[in-house]
Structure 1
Amino acid sequence: MSVASPGDAARLPGRTGPGAPQRVAVVGGGWAGCAAAVELAARGAAVTVYEASRTLGGRARAVNVHGKSLDNGQHILLGAYRETLRLMRQVGIAERPALLRLPLQMVYPEGDGMHFVAPRLPAPLHVGLALLRSRGLARPDKLALARFSTAARWMGWQLNQDCSVSELLARFDQTDRLVQLMWRPLCIAALNTPPERASAQVFLNVLRDSLGARRAASDMLLPRVDLSALFPQRAAAYVESRGGKVVHGVAVDTLERDGECWRLRDAVHDAVVIATPPAQAAALLAAHAPDLSMPAFEWESITTVYLQYAAGLRLERPFFALVDQPDAGCWGQFVFDRGQLNDADAGLLAVVISASGPALDLGNDSLPPLVAAQLAQALRMPALATPEWTRVISEKRATFACTPALQRPSNDVGIDGLALAGDYTAGDYPATLESAVRSGMAAATLVARR
């Protein structure tokens, strides 16, 4: 794949007369920007992607660790990620080599929690039968889960007024054990916000489109390749194959109006999609949209602890849920056996800590031994206490805090030829890959109508 250099910016493709392709700049090469670029290229636009870093993907990208291409955060996709999966197919990514598809499940190490695995039956039978067969939940726990699911469907997954997830669960008398083993980890994994502060309506949106939809929508998809290869790199190749450009190492600091067009980096474009974090987007738009309301987002971090063991080490399943008890030094929430996803990662475990602010206070030297000890005890494998090497990767601003009634900005900023894209824009979902992709596509549609 060829990549343009900063000096190419003034020589990028543009209109030369009536009927020539629309020239569109996409500022930011994260998942939202890549989705916008693919959608625009498919519509025939001459697209230029400006990315400040040397790697596409934004907060979901590959990094090099001990000679391995790993992710800056272990991800689970859902079968409900309809637009993400569609765009992956569009740029030439086949699902089976790229993703391991598993049925909906919440499985803890034996003796530590519950065992909940949905069979491959039509919805909602798959959840009902999984509940009947589940281990580690008492009869009151199962009845509470069934009651919540039935009530949520009856309400159409809608609340008259948003509240916290904790308030919602209390309203439907969810048991303490069910909250600890099911609802709390699901909320933190999906919204990256503790249930005490998380939006109940957004949580219901996620449940509606996964547990409440067709069976395949609730499937869990684990990437077999790194996140950059999963979509952003192929998206760049797709754009370039249609005459577009991807310019790395170029930060766009100013945006100027040039007649009916827009000038940035000495190049003129008919339209611009701003797919940067909100603070940078607000700065670019300040002179053009002084009335734009950009909320003061709070941010949540995600930490992934990688632990390398002998290549022959293998867990019983591709991933397990873990009981996190920070007071007892147990910080991990999920552990993934990367060797079951990619042979090159044999013996490598990835432990995820969502909403990881308190864990960051421990420091990168103190956290790995605690996580290794937690794994050794939970999985009853003493050898896990002594990994060959470890690496902590934290995204301190991984997602916005998805709080109740949060007013997120629209893709449409009210200015002809400009649109916002990012997982923080208005939508049903929290900050996920799917929300980023949907936002990018919506922004592309807006500017393509010009």
Structure 2
Amino acid sequence: MHRPGKAPRPSHPGRVTVIGGGFAGLTAAITAAEAGAAVTLYEAHATLGGRARTADAPYRTNEGPHALYNGGPHWSWLKQRGLLQPVAPVRPAEAVRFRFHRDGTLRRTPPLGLLRLARKSPELAPVDADFTTWATRTVGARGARAAAHYIAVALFHHDPGSLSARFVQERLHRAAALPPEAHYPVGGWGALIDRMAARAWDLGVRIETDARVGELPGAAEGPVVVATSLAAARRLLGDDTLDWPSGRTALLDLALTARRADPFVVSDLDAPGWLERFSDDADSALSPVGEQLFQGHFPIAPHESKAAGIARAEALLDAGFPGWRERTTWRREALAAGRTGAVDLPGTTWRDRPAIDRGHGVYLAGDQTAAPGVLSEVAFNSAMEAASLSLTALKLARLDVYRA
């Protein structure tokens, strides 16, 4: 265990230092170690995972809903290393139990305009216009509003319609794909993190937990990958330019006694909000026998309280889960502020976010950096780029990374 302060000097020259033991940090550490670099990873908490941690039993919740999209680059990377399995897809029986809260009523189908819009290629959406303006011209105001609220599942933002049309449409196109791209690591994301950590150990990565780093090692000690939240990176690097818009979301975890008639998903199309069941026959270890674990997120504006988001969650529960209060066996509420990934305003793209290369052998990785992708793909792509730049600095083999 290390006290806060300067990172201990590596045991030999040419070592890559990774600060942060979440998904991005472990990806960077594994990638660098596979190429022959010596790697030390420092994690401030007692356990690895960052926002990908999974709570201990009996209710194994993630920090907000998490999913792996099988259309992303991290899917094949994890699969090639035997780190992916087991994962649970959205099964057909569950897909037919989607419900949409629209005009105050629970419905089985979304508006036609939403479906039409979801099929359109993201390349058709302009970067400079906001999503609502472009989508209204494309499918009308009703479909545009429903689509903006539906895609809150992948944005965690209180006003998706105000964001860049290209940014939102990319996520809508992916989130509404059929068959669904979303898959869920069995046992929660913590199980995936455990497999990644074991891979890192096998490669010789030195992992230090309870090790809060307050100062970067010197440039002569080797490259450094800062794989923390953007706010933490800003403090560590003393760089006020490390800033980018994110979301603010009320999170609700709920365990209910099982009821076969319950929906699998309830998407609120009247306002941004999403409730989803995470425990099922494919992953029964997430909650006790006879109970079902639900997780929801309800984006809130900067001036709104967490209580306002939870009130919307309870209203959606009233609509979709009769008698849910009497069936509740466990409950947890939280607020995620600036911890839900980057959102791009009109006129900006991922290329405008804080650059990965910070100069002097320091590289940034995380989900608010200048890297492409949806949800965790941003963290993965930035980690791969940061590892590649670190290896180049050490004059080791350069990696082929996605630079679209």
Please state which band the TM-score falls in when normalised by the shorter chain.
0.7 to 0.9
- TM-score normalised by the chain length of structure 1: 0.73
Measured in 1, the distance between the counterparts of 2:377 and 2:97 equals 21
Q: Does 1:99 align with 2:85?
A: no
Change (3 A) 1:285 1:174: same
SS at match of 1:49: strand
Provide the alpha-carbon RMSD of the alignment.
3.4
Structure 1 residue 409, shift from structure 2 partner: 1.5
Kept after mapping to 1: 8 A contact 2:8/2:217: no
Change (3 A) 1:245 1:105: farther
2:166 to 184, 191, 201: 201
Q: Does 1:296 align with 2:243?
A: yes
Kept after mapping to 2: 8 A contact 1:411/1:426: yes
2:54 to 62, 70, 83: 62
Kept after mapping to 2: 8 A contact 1:293/1:409: no
Question: What letter is aligned with 1:36?
Answer: A
Change (3 A) 1:210 1:279: closer
Kept after mapping to 1: 8 A contact 2:101/2:270: no
Structure 1 residue 39, shift from structure 2 partner: 0.8
Measured in 1, the distance between the counterparts of 2:40 and 2:99 equals 46
Q: Does 1:189 align with 2:189?
A: no
Question: What letter is aligned with 1:48?
Answer: T
1:428 to 368, 372, 388: 372
Change (3 A) 1:241 1:13: farther
Structure 1 residue 109, shift from structure 2 partner: 6.0
Per the alignment, residue 397 of structure 2 pairs with none
Kept after mapping to 1: 8 A contact 2:29/2:200: yes
SS at match of 1:235: helix
Structure 2 stretches lacking a partner, 5+ long: 394-404
2:213 to 252, 257, 279: 252
Q: Does 1:27 align with 2:25?
A: no
Deviation string 1:231-254 (CA, Å, 9 cap, x unpaired) is: x22222111111111111111111
SS at match of 2:213: coil
Measured in 2, the distance between the counterparts of 1:209 and 1:367 equals 27
Q: Does 1:79 align with 2:65?
A: no
Change (3 A) 1:114 1:298: same
Measured in 2, the distance between the counterparts of 1:106 and 1:190 equals 20
Q: Does 1:174 align with 2:170?
A: no
Measured in 2, the distance between the counterparts of 1:167 and 1:62 equals 39
Q: Superposition pairs for residues 284-433 of structure 1, below 5 Å? A: 284-286=236-238, 294-310=241-257, 312-315=258-261, 319-323=264-268, 332-344=273-285, 345=287, 346=289, 347-357=291-301, 361-363=305-307, 367=310, 371-372=313-314, 374-379=316-321, 381-383=322-324, 385-399=326-340, 400-406=342-348, 407-415=352-360, 417-429=361-373, 432-433=375-376
Structure 1 residue 6, shift from structure 2 partner: 3.3
Deviation string 1:381-435 (CA, Å, 9 cap, x unpaired) is: 33555412311133222224432234312212233x32111111113335x2111
Kept after mapping to 2: 8 A contact 1:102/1:220: no
Kept after mapping to 2: 8 A contact 1:422/1:440: yes
Deviation string 1:153-181 (CA, Å, 9 cap, x unpaired) is: 4x83452x4222112212214341x3344
- TM-score normalised by the chain length of structure 2: 0.80
Change (3 A) 1:173 1:252: same
Structure 1 residue 24, shift from structure 2 partner: 0.5
Structure 1 stretches lacking a partner, 5+ long: 16-21, 116-134, 263-269, 287-291
Change (3 A) 1:279 1:398: closer
Question: What letter is aligned with 1:378?
Answer: G
SS at match of 1:196: helix
Change (3 A) 1:293 1:367: closer
Measured in 2, the distance between the counterparts of 1:180 and 1:208 equals 16
SS at match of 1:353: strand
Measured in 2, the distance between the counterparts of 1:207 and 1:110 equals 18
Question: What letter is aligned with 2:330?
Answer: W
Measured in 2, the distance between the counterparts of 1:10 and 1:255 equals 9
Kept after mapping to 2: 8 A contact 1:272/1:418: yes
Deviation string 1:17-48 (CA, Å, 9 cap, x unpaired) is: xxxxx411001112111111111111121111
Per the alignment, residue 130 of structure 2 pairs with 164
Per the alignment, residue 2 of structure 2 pairs with 6
Kept after mapping to 1: 8 A contact 2:118/2:169: no
Measured in 1, the distance between the counterparts of 2:141 and 2:46 equals 48
Change (3 A) 1:180 1:205: closer
Change (3 A) 1:447 1:349: same
Question: What letter is aligned with 2:378?
Answer: S
Change (3 A) 1:114 1:184: farther
Question: What letter is aligned with 2:161?
Answer: E
Change (3 A) 1:378 1:54: same
Measured in 1, the distance between the counterparts of 2:51 and 2:101 equals 34
Change (3 A) 1:375 1:282: closer
Instruction: Decide which structure has the larger Cα Rg and report it.
Output: 1
Q: Superposition pairs for residues 105-116 of structure 1, below 5 Å? A: 107-108=98-99, 112=105, 114-115=107-108
Q: Superposition pairs for residues 215-234 of structure 1, below 5 Å? A: 218-230=180-192, 232-234=193-195
